[in-house]
Structure 1
Amino acid sequence: MPLETPARIVRELTSRGYNADREAVTLLANAPDPNGALNEVVESAPEHALKISVEHVRNVLDSASSESASSKSASSASSQSKNGAVSARGNSSVSTGTENTKSSVQEVTSPVETGGSVSRNEALQSVGIEGDVTGQSTGTGEYDDFVTVFRDRFQRLSGQLRGRVNARPTNAVASMPGGSDAAMVGMISDIRSTASGHWLVELEDTNGTFPCLIMKDKEFASVVNELLLDETIAVEGTLSSDAGILFVDSLHFPDVPRTYKPSTADRHVQAALISDVHVGSQEFMADAWSRFTSWLHTEEAEHVEYLLIAGDMVEGVGIYPNQDEELDIIDIFEQYEKFSEYLKEVPGDMEIVMIPGNHDAVRLAEPQPGFDEELRDIMDVHDARITGNPSTVTVEGVSVLMYHGVSLDEVIAEMPEEKASYEEPHKAMYQLLKKRHVAPQYGGHTRVAPEEKDYLVIDEVPDIFHTGHVHKLGFGKYHNVLAMNSGCWQAQTDFQKSVNIDPDSGFAPIVDLDTLDVTVRKFA
């Protein structure tokens, strides 16, 4: 494929193991024969060079005639053909794609000889990004900012619920006669049990608050264990004789429709979903990472055209007590430089999308903007797409909601184990889909930054929900949405031992975008 853009020149250099100065890339892009010039630059590069300099490119361009450049391009094309670029192969193992999604787990225990990178179809690759707060943040932390973001949350989530119930504002319900049937939509401001074992849930809207009683003998009473403060629900029931309380007969979440039909790609193409690389930690699994990236260069991975990384590229600094004792690289910028080196091992023709996590060098409060220009410059070797946390990434027509997942800790802590646990992190993700918000509870572990709108609301149902953070592998389908928590690339640290975290390390879930089937590959 012609190298008509700087981005493709960067990808080609990366696939051959080189970084380059930006001016060097520009010179190559503007050369009469970019292919020939790039090949000559690479072939004449110093033996141990990792970066192509401007001076080297200028020397090559100045000394090469048009005839020799053309000859060199033809020679390179012949060489690449002999090295075995492969354009077709049999299908890899996939799961059944049933409601209870099962994976085929395949283990790679030693580095794979690549024999040259396979050929991917860059012309068909398609990526779109929505819901990115990067460059859009307006919050100052003032009281009015918090009022604005919670009003926006309520309006958008209540809009999803009002089509299901004939809801009235709290002040209108309060003026109704006792014994009337009533319905309302509200944000949960309080949950408490009564002396008789019933549940009193206080709902708040923009007009006031109203108490709702859920009797313990109701069929749906068990869902009270799923309720979180600040989430938005709808209730229907009957007012007490004095109209001071609503006896709840039914309760509704914004939820994903049970009949939801996800979109799929119109060709056989795959995406690797990973997270929590943690470069800089003493426990970063460099060997497993190299086995993974070596596998990406093989025929078996020919259809893996996308790599989606859900945060925590590096271990960071000062994230938890005594973290410095567990660091292999103590400088945060050096951590990103090393991560960039590892990223160069990924085939240059793969599309990469990255969001930050709580260990990354961005603000902790969500939504998190993407990395600043200094860090983007460090990680520009692969022309990766960097977006905020959360963001919705559309790949080949398949929408992927990428969220690092800090709120999963809160969901797991608040709910019974059968509904949310670290051993089955996808069940906690089901709860976020049900509530249509990635961080519904305010004031706990999850820090929230007030913006003009709530970037954490799930307005549109995604086809795939991808998270990380908890270092556990788990996935399944909730109302046909594939929920995937992708594990990590860090072995157990002393800190994780102290808080009883046993990570699932060195796994790479591979999703068929045309079927949403999953194959999990193990590289550790």
Structure 2
Amino acid sequence: MAAKEILKFCIEKGFLLDKEVLDLLNESNGIDTETGKLIIEKIGAFAQKRVITRSVFDQNKEKLNQILFNLPGENKTQVEKLKIKLGINIEISREINEEEVRNIVKGRVREIKPPLNVRDVGELNLSGVKILSMDPTSSKKIEVADFVKHYRNRYSEMSNLFKERGELENLSSINKISGNNKNISIVGLVNGKKITKNKNLLIELEDLTGKITVIVNANKPDLFKKAEDIALDSVIAVKGTGSKEILFVNEIYFPDSNLAERKKSPVEEYALFTGDIHVGIDKFLENNFMKFIHYLNGRLPGAKSEEVDKIKYLFLVGDIVAGVGIYPGQEHELLIADVEEQYVKAAELLKKIREDITIIVSPGNHDALRIMEPQPLLDEKFAWPLYELKNVVLTGNPALVNIGEKRSKELAFSGFDVLTYHGYSYHHYANTIPRLMQEKAVHTPEKIMSYLLKNRHLAPTHSSTLYFPSVEDSLFIRKVPDIFLSGHTHKSGVTYYNNVLVISSSCWESLTAFQEKTGNKPDFCKVPMFNMKTREVKILDFE
């Protein structure tokens, strides 16, 4: 390949070519000048980059593979070695010497070891972690019919919850209501709410058979307050008197989450919960995080070794890295501007944690993957350093994870079910639900989490988060967890709701200009530690 001609071509096209890329093309014997020009022009146009570096090739391997695949037939054999050097999966051409290929691969391709349980839903691994539910990623085109199926299925599943409870008298579908009825009950999806001139509250409910308007009288203050806090698109049940034209409500029921007991493990082990590390931003509290790591490794002066030695699980609930382009002006606050390098740094830190602690990692809106929920596993293209850590379990968002199961006859225990959800929907409810607004729940997110447990859904309102309308609603809380864990708000809080332990994690970045503008008042470096035998929760402070 004529290097001078390639460089001249780049100047004419407005590209700057990194020497490493030029050497890479030259090392791939058989790459002719025209093929080299074609590759550079197409990848530069796709990546919208004027400076073509090795990282541009690495970050766009899928597109590069497509470009190489679509080259004219006579160029096919010229690019096979280039594919190997770039680590692109290929079917090796017979014209390439097998031993030569083996040597190239050995020197160039990184071995990716999948983390524990990365895709094995329902399988218990040696560290005592089992992923109970994690929704598969779908990439199909979204149509109106998908939303219809989604909401129909949500209604059906929620309706079954009410039927199982058996507390609704004369339960009827909307189309079967006729004449005047006393103590009739219906289950419906909330289609709309509005206040009348007389200050009463009208709610439009919908089931699979039709719609009905129900009225909550302002003269019933307790019932009215309960009705005010109903979220749009949630599924509720009402009991009242009236006809198919209008029903006067006497009682309102929510799906709700209840546990009969607070289970305890027969073995004293500890689980820790944190998240929102934001590696890569200039506000990252790295010294504090290192203090936390020293604690986990038993090297922090004053730490109780008998407790530290029994720490078995560490949950990181999203926003492992700061990401790129998440909010206006973020680029001026980044110490590490490349998201892949952010994950490299994050992995370097997590690798310092002793290997007998299993680290369960779920994504958030700052991580390098789609923001639409449910979020899949962290993208291996960017987060590959985490895939190489032996004690890391990757999950989606949300996910239901079981920890601490014991299968021996002497210590039989079902473990704790932990529901992890980053919390992207929370600000919507803090700013729209009257009770949560009055209580300033944006600063006490455990109240928002309790509200959503009451609704048995992580984001019932259509506009509260970006979501994929799968037939099976991924944000519906099918199984009531023992522990409900979230992040996102950067506020630390612990409470119980109907025997469910609710934990909101703090963060590891100091106040940013963007947070200051939005009125956020974060908590820093607070880590709840849960004793699985006594259920004691202690807040570790590394600030």
Q: TM-score range by the shorter chain?
A: 0.7 to 0.9
Q: Match of 2:284, as an amino acid? A: F
For 2:365 and 2:466, how far apart are their aligned partners in 1?
10
- Compared CA separation, residues 139 and 149, structure 1 to 2 (3 A): farther
Residue 371, structure 1, aligned to residue 378, structure 2 = yes
Residue 274, structure 1, aligned to residue 292, structure 2 = no
Alignment of 1:140-289 (within 5 A): 140-162=141-163, 163-165=166-168, 166-173=170-177, 176-218=178-220, 219-240=222-243, 243-257=244-258, 260-289=260-289
SS of alignment partner, residue 379 of structure 1? helix
Q: Which residue of 2 aligns with 1:429?
A: 449
SS of alignment partner, residue 172 of structure 2? coil
5+ residue gaps, structure 1, are 1-53, 56-121
TM-score (normalizing by structure 1)? 0.73
Q: Is the 8 A contact 1:344 1:381 kept in 2?
A: no
Q: Which residue of 2 aligns with 1:97?
A: none
Q: Match of 1:402, as an amino acid? A: T
For 1:377 and 1:473, how far apart are their aligned partners in 2?
30
For 2:480 and 2:263, how far apart are their aligned partners in 1?
11
SS of alignment partner, residue 450 of structure 1? coil
For 2:502 and 2:153, how far apart are their aligned partners in 1?
26
For 1:125 and 1:332, how far apart are their aligned partners in 2?
29
For 1:381 and 1:203, how far apart are their aligned partners in 2?
50
For 1:130 and 1:355, how far apart are their aligned partners in 2?
14
Q: 1:423 Cα shift?
A: 2.1
Q: 1:380 Cα shift?
A: 2.5
For 2:455 and 2:191, how far apart are their aligned partners in 1?
15
Residue 441, structure 1, aligned to residue 456, structure 2 = no
SS of alignment partner, residue 313 of structure 2? strand
For 2:511 and 2:289, how far apart are their aligned partners in 1?
16
Alignment of 1:268-347 (within 5 A): 268-298=268-298, 299=305, 300-347=307-354
Q: Is the 8 A contact 1:128 1:395 kept in 2?
A: yes
Q: Which residue of 1 aligns with 2:46?
A: none
Measured against aligned partners, the alpha-carbon deviations of 1:216-254 in whole angstroms (never above 9, x if no partner) come to 1223211123211000000000015xx410000000000
Residue from 357, 364, 367 that aligns with 1:350 = 357
Q: Which residue of 2 aligns with 1:411?
A: 429
Q: 1:328 Cα shift?
A: 1.2
For 2:526 and 2:198, how far apart are their aligned partners in 1?
48
Q: Is the 8 A contact 1:425 1:475 kept in 2?
A: no
For 2:250 and 2:325, how far apart are their aligned partners in 1?
49
Q: Is the 8 A contact 1:419 1:428 kept in 2?
A: no
Q: 1:409 Cα shift?
A: 0.8
For 1:468 and 1:523, how far apart are their aligned partners in 2?
17
TM-score (normalizing by structure 2)? 0.71
For 1:472 and 1:252, how far apart are their aligned partners in 2?
30
Residue from 474, 491, 512 that aligns with 1:455 = 474
Q: Is the 8 A contact 1:167 1:184 kept in 2?
A: yes
Q: Is the 8 A contact 1:139 1:450 kept in 2?
A: no
Q: Which residue of 2 aligns with 1:495?
A: 514
For 1:369 and 1:304, how far apart are their aligned partners in 2?
27
Q: 1:419 Cα shift?
A: 4.9
For 2:476 and 2:532, how far apart are their aligned partners in 1?
24
Q: Is the 8 A contact 1:138 1:451 kept in 2?
A: no
Q: Which residue of 2 aligns with 1:467?
A: 486
Identity percentage of aligned residues:
35
Q: Match of 2:160, as an amino acid? A: G
Q: 1:357 Cα shift?
A: 0.4
Q: 1:486 Cα shift?
A: 0.9
Q: Is the 8 A contact 2:318 2:363 kept in 1?
A: yes
Q: 1:171 Cα shift?
A: 1.1
Q: Match of 1:210, as an amino acid? A: I
- Compared CA separation, residues 137 and 260, structure 1 to 2 (3 A): farther
For 1:171 and 1:461, how far apart are their aligned partners in 2?
32
Q: 1:414 Cα shift?
A: 1.1
Q: Is the 8 A contact 1:139 1:145 kept in 2?
A: no
Q: Which residue of 1 aligns with 2:495?
A: 476
For 1:484 and 1:212, how far apart are their aligned partners in 2?
36
Q: Is the 8 A contact 1:139 1:452 kept in 2?
A: no
Q: Which residue of 1 aligns with 2:537?
A: 518
- Compared CA separation, residues 512 and 227, structure 1 to 2 (3 A): same
Q: Which residue of 1 aligns with 2:62?
A: none
Q: 1:475 Cα shift?
A: 1.2
Measured against aligned partners, the alpha-carbon deviations of 1:1-59 in whole angstroms (never above 9, x if no partner) come to xxxxxxxxxxxxxxxxxxxxxxxxxxxxxxxxxxxxxxxxxxxxxxxxxxxxx99xxxx
Q: Is the 8 A contact 1:168 1:183 kept in 2?
A: yes
Q: 1:142 Cα shift?
A: 1.1
For 1:452 and 1:345, how far apart are their aligned partners in 2?
42
For 1:228 and 1:139, how far apart are their aligned partners in 2?
29
Q: Is the 8 A contact 2:280 2:322 kept in 1?
A: yes
Q: 1:304 Cα shift?
A: 1.1
For 1:139 and 1:249, how far apart are their aligned partners in 2?
44
- Compared CA separation, residues 393 and 255, structure 1 to 2 (3 A): same
Q: Is the 8 A contact 2:227 2:252 kept in 1?
A: no
Q: Is the 8 A contact 2:443 2:521 kept in 1?
A: no
Q: Is the 8 A contact 1:131 1:391 kept in 2?
A: yes
How many residues in Structure 1 have an aligned counterpart in Structure 2?
398
Q: Match of 1:261, as an amino acid? A: E
For 2:139 and 2:327, how far apart are their aligned partners in 1?
29
Q: 1:418 Cα shift?
A: 4.4
For 1:202 and 1:406, how far apart are their aligned partners in 2?
27
For 1:139 and 1:233, how far apart are their aligned partners in 2?
31
5+ residue gaps, structure 2, are 1-105, 108-123, 299-304, 405-414
For 1:348 and 1:179, how far apart are their aligned partners in 2?
65
Q: Is the 8 A contact 1:311 1:356 kept in 2?
A: yes
Q: Match of 2:278, as an amino acid? A: H
